[in-house]
Amino acid sequence: MSGAPGGSAGVNGSLMLAAAIQMESGPDFERNLDRAVQLVELARSRGAELIALPENFSFLRVGDVPFLTHRLDSPLVRRLRELAGRLGIYLLAGSFHEEVPDADKMFNTSLLLGPDGGILAAYRKIHLFDIGLEDGHGFRESARFHAGDEAVVCATPLATFGLSVCYDLRFPELYRRLSAAGAEVLLVPSAFTEATGKDHWEVLVRCRAIENLCYVIAPALTGRPAPRIRNWGHSLIVDPWGNVLAGAGEREAVITAEIDRAYLLEKRRQLPALDHRRLDIHSAE
């Protein structure tokens, strides 16, 4: 379990306006990044202090287009750090392909940036999406990506955040570890496909909120980047009781909701399920 020091969690009763960005992405890196910056600036103009971008927001590989990778000191990361510092926000850089020196695979990496432009936490996607379809097509992330091996929690003056990416959502044991380490807000940048999204997306997001008594902020890709691919969209912000505070449809959107730490603590007092966990029995270690 790792994270970056960012101060203590917000004081009782503190409110934070959070935004989830829903956008289209594809192989045009510059177009995607410009659009992401526009939407982040729009969210900030609405008062958002934490703004979350979706998985693969800056580049989504289609067909035979080569993968595009970045290091943590790349122009992409520097531009996002400048954006966070200029706007004075906490910015979740949903995920991008992180280059691994001297390796033929990469990481799917999510960064949490602070209002001074610093990198507060880096999370590398643990669960890789490998699936075969009946028509012979499928996805094998493990063919191109290394799996991360570290759960990441980051304490900030606003809240304590637990990081994850997309397919992680199907593995509740990860979120148990995050909440046990103090997470109050779970971040789930995603690119769910329509095939699974229409039946599973909202159910899974709300489950992770309910069982961990956490807020969940889940920004998602939308649109159809290729004839066989349709991203589900329907970004969500859910409270610790499982209530949907804000949701998007299928179009690009900025959704916002208040994150109220006093409400979270109240619900945890009313239903002290987190205190009743038997991590000694349920731990996979």
Q: Hey, which residues are catalytic here?
A: 55, 125, 166
Q: What angle do CA 187, 267, 91 make, to 5 degrees?
A: 20
Spell out the alpha helix ranges (H) of 127-166. Answer: none
Angstrom distances, CA of residue 78 to CA of 32, 48, 218, 282: 16, 21, 24, 41
Angstrom distances, CA of residue 81 to CA of 85, 101, 206: 6, 22, 31
Residue located via tokens 């959107």: 253
**Dihedral angle sign, alpha carbons of residues 223, 225, 226, 230:** negative
Quote the CA–CA distance of 169 and 175 in Å, as a whole number. 8
Q: Hey, is 195 helix, strand or coil?
A: helix
Helix (H) or strand (E) holding 30: helix 29-45
Give the 3-state DSSP-derived string for 62-88, with helices as H, strands as E and coil as C: CCCCCCCCECCCCHHHHHHHHHHHHHC
